[in-house]
Amino acid sequence: NQANSDALPVVAFATGHNEMIDTTTLKQILNTNSFDVVEFNIMTEEIPENTQLIVLATPSTDYTQEELSKLDAYLN
């Protein structure tokens, strides 16, 4: 798929809230299957451009209103 595609689908893993699930294996599977896997700190960074899927891996702390606004804007 990578050879036939100009752009890979982007999967962004949100960090910054002491996520309780280890996503290492999921990231490896996605990378192996032609996804561009990125991490971003939802507290301090914007959602990466062209993100098609955001993974929120069981955060252990609540999101701030600003972070929720970022997610709302992405979903709209």
pLDDT tens for the chain, 76 residues long, are: 455 667 899 999 999 999 999 999 999 999 999 999 999 999 999 999 999 999 999 999 999 999 999 999 999 9
Q: What is the reported pLDDT for 65?
A: 98
What one-character-per-residue DSSP string does 6-54 give?
SSPPEEEEEESS--SS--HHHHHHHHHTT-EEEEEETTTSPPPTTEEEE
pLDDT of residue 4: 60
The pLDDT assigned to 53 comes to 96
User: What pLDDT was estimated at residue 3?
Assistant: 55
What's the token pair of residue 6?
A: 């100009």
| Entry pTM | 0.88
Taking alpha carbons only, the member of 26, 28, 36 closest to residue 1 is 36
